[in-house]
Chain A
Amino acid sequence: MIKVVNLCKSFNGKTVLDNISVTFEPGKTNLIIGRSGSGKTVLLKSIVGLHEIDSGEVWYENTLFNKLDFAGKKKIRSEMGMLFQGSALFDSLTVEQNVRFPLDMFTDNSSEEKIERVNFCLNRVDIKNSNNLFPSELSGGMKKRVAIARAISLNPKYLFCDEPNSGLDPITAILIDALIKELTVEYSMTTIVNTHDMNSVMEIGEKIVFISEGVKCWEGNKNDILNSDCNTLNDFVFANSLAKKLRATK
């Protein structure tokens, strides 16, 4: 479980997140949704500690994460996996070396054990026969998969995904979403996914938090989202003409 209490964050005096409180539940894909620029990435990065927050609290189970020193954070980070918007694979390493990197860095396993784990993770995300390719030789969807494999290589308890399906075609996007959801259930992780894609919301949204201009406007699940009385949320949900038509007929 991850709990955020009264989180505020600003850059050079400009408030980006305003007093956000929310709880993310284990074994579920928790979604943070909102328009581009609404503060999703900043919120996710504040939760994982890549941004220093101005005020508020971030709890991992019973640990107050944002007050820990580097060593304390490191301990919790060993249980985190993160998928970045641009995949963030290490350019100078091959697919295999990328997935192996956390194992090399944080375990004392033998080389065979590491290779076995790498192949297991790559298999799990459906990447085959590509161990020796470099990130520049992969398609967008493959990069995301490899990045997921790297994120799960140490069996994390928490998984964070920033726009996992941005830049992908609709079918690949749904496959990646489904993969994230499967893994979440399989390893009972607390997963937080940022997205602005309504397809994802309807496919994998179990707990949904909607933020607009840095403020939490709505929270619920995918069954409630079509019937909310929050106007900014409705503008977001029914943004395209197809959705508007469906709504009118309802």
Chain B
Amino acid sequence: MIKFLTQFGRYFLLLKKVFSKPEKPSIYYKQTVRELIFLGVNSIGIIAIISFFMGAVITLQTAYNTENPIYPKYLIGLGCRDSMILEFSSTIAALILAGKVGSSIASEIGTMRVTEQIDALEIMGVNSASFLILPKMIATLLFNPFLTIIAIIVGIFGGWIAGTFSGVLTSENFIYGIQYEFIPYYIVYSLIKTVFFAFIITSVSSFQGYFVEGGSLEVGRASTKAVVYSSVLILLFNVILTQLLLS
């Protein structure tokens, strides 16, 4: 318990260091662009592929579970839309990103720690926490909402392809379904969750990497911990945020 509290304290002290005033904004800007590409643009592929197949599967499953003619067919499109918007595009995508982005952040920063690159920054008088973590934070907070939008669009497209090509419903039915009683606030809800999750992934993974002690073995452990802890926190905050935002 005491160990947990000290970790918690160290985490907030680190955040405080991260959010202090940047010394050379132009260099931070360059780093942020680099991270946008590295952490953001490079994640589009995996998010698109997984969203496409999830959309497809959700559509087919909804279809086969509602074969009874009392259900109108357009419900299938509606089901696909709502699952993609409410859960998949934010929560599941965040879990995938925790695996991809979180482990890469933790191992990058952890390697810099054990090879004394962080010490080298500190000795020059650079605020290493801010220099290394802030650009990643800004990059993910800015870019992950785009990933969410991409996930929604590609997922629904996947549903449409699967639905119409398998013949479980017509294209018109599907399109009617995805427009039926559309609540724009759901998208806002999803984007808010995404921003929270992006913060969790980046801060928790950076924390794990920044305080590694030892060698490559510990870096590996830190990156596993980064994924596990951020995933658990994402699931926890998913419940909390849903209660706050939808009730």
Task: Check if B117 sits within 8 Å of A90, measured CB to CB.
Answer: yes
Q: Which of B72-113 contact A (CB under 8 A)?
A: 111-112
Q: Which of A1-9, A29-37, A69-77, A229-237 contacts B (4 or more CB under 8 A)?
A: A69-77
Residue of B nearest to A70 (CB): B127
A202 at interface, CB cutoff 8 A: no
Point out the residues of chain A lying under 8 angstroms from B115, CB to CB: 86, 88, 91
**Contact A78:B24 (CB < 8 A) given known A86-B115, A88-B116:** no
How does the 8 Å CB contact mask read for A66-100 relative to B, with 1 for contact and 0 for none?
Answer: 00001001110110101011101111000000000
Q: Which of A182-223 contact B (CB under 8 A)?
A: none
Point out the residues of chain A lying under 8 angstroms from B123, CB to CB: 48, 50, 77, 80, 82, 160
B124 at interface, CB cutoff 8 A: yes
The CA-CA distance from A84 to B125 in the complex, in Å, is 15
Task: Check if A106 sits within 8 Å of B27, measured CB to CB.
Answer: no
A104 at interface, CB cutoff 8 A: yes
Task: Check if A82 sits within 8 Å of B120, measured CB to CB.
Answer: yes
Residue of A nearest to B122 (CB): A50
Within 8 Å by CB of A102, from B116, B119, B124, B127, lies B124
B23 at interface, CB cutoff 8 A: yes
Point out the residues of chain B lying under 8 angstroms from A160, CB to CB: 123
A66 to chain B: closest CB distance in Å? 15
Residue of B nearest to A154 (CB): B124
A128 to chain B: closest CB distance in Å? 23
The CA-CA distance from A174 to B236 in the complex, in Å, is 58
Point out the residues of chain B lying under 8 angstroms from A48, CB to CB: 123
Task: Check if B120 sits within 8 Å of A84, measured CB to CB.
Answer: yes
Residue of B nearest to A45 (CB): B119
Task: Check if A104 sits within 8 Å of B27, measured CB to CB.
Answer: yes
B150 at interface, CB cutoff 8 A: no
Task: Check if B125 sits within 8 Å of A73, measured CB to CB.
Answer: yes
Task: Check if B127 sits within 8 Å of A105, measured CB to CB.
Answer: no
Point out the residues of chain B lying under 8 angstroms from A82, CB to CB: 119-120, 123
Task: Check if B125 sits within 8 Å of A106, measured CB to CB.
Answer: yes
Task: Check if B119 sits within 8 Å of A106, measured CB to CB.
Answer: no
Point out the residues of chain A lying under 8 angstroms from B119, CB to CB: 45, 50, 82, 84, 88
Task: Check if B124 sits within 8 Å of A77, measured CB to CB.
Answer: yes
Point out the residues of chain B lying under 8 angstroms from A85, CB to CB: 116
The CA-CA distance from A48 to B125 in the complex, in Å, is 11
A103 to chain B: closest CB distance in Å? 11
A40 to chain B: closest CB distance in Å? 14
Q: Which of B17-37 contact A (CB under 8 A)?
A: 23-24, 27
Within 8 Å by CB of A106, from B111, B116, B124, B127, lies B124
The CA-CA distance from A86 to B120 in the complex, in Å, is 11
Task: Check if B126 sits within 8 Å of A105, measured CB to CB.
Answer: yes
Task: Check if A78 sits within 8 Å of B116, measured CB to CB.
Answer: no
The CA-CA distance from A212 to B188 in the complex, in Å, is 63
**Contact A91:B122 (CB < 8 A) given known A70-B127, A105-B23:** no
The CA-CA distance from A45 to B123 in the complex, in Å, is 10
Q: Which of B123-161 contact A (CB under 8 A)?
A: 123-127
Point out the residues of chain A lying under 8 angstroms from B117, CB to CB: 88-91
The CA-CA distance from A86 to B116 in the complex, in Å, is 8
Task: Check if A78 sits within 8 Å of B125, measured CB to CB.
Answer: yes
A140 to chain B: closest CB distance in Å? 14
B81 to chain A: closest CB distance in Å? 41
The CA-CA distance from A102 to B23 in the complex, in Å, is 12
Residue of A nearest to B111 (CB): A91
The CA-CA distance from A74 to B125 in the complex, in Å, is 5
Within 8 Å by CB of A105, from B111, B116, B124, lies B124
The CA-CA distance from A121 to B100 in the complex, in Å, is 39
| A interface residues (Cβ-Cβ under 8 A, vs B) | 45, 48, 50, 70, 73-75, 77-78, 80, 82, 84-86, 88-91, 101-102, 104-106, 160
* 30 A-B pairs with C-beta separation under 8 A: A50-B119, A50-B123, A70-B127, A77-B122, A78-B124, A80-B123, A80-B124, A82-B120, A82-B123, A84-B116, A84-B119, A84-B120, A85-B116, A86-B115, A86-B116, A88-B115, A88-B117, A88-B119, A88-B120, A89-B117, A90-B112, A90-B117, A91-B111, A91-B112, A101-B124, A102-B124, A104-B27, A105-B27, A106-B124, A160-B123
Further contacts, 6 of them, CB under 8 A, given A50-B123, A73-B125, A106-B125: A75-B125, A77-B122, A77-B125, A82-B120, A88-B119, A160-B123
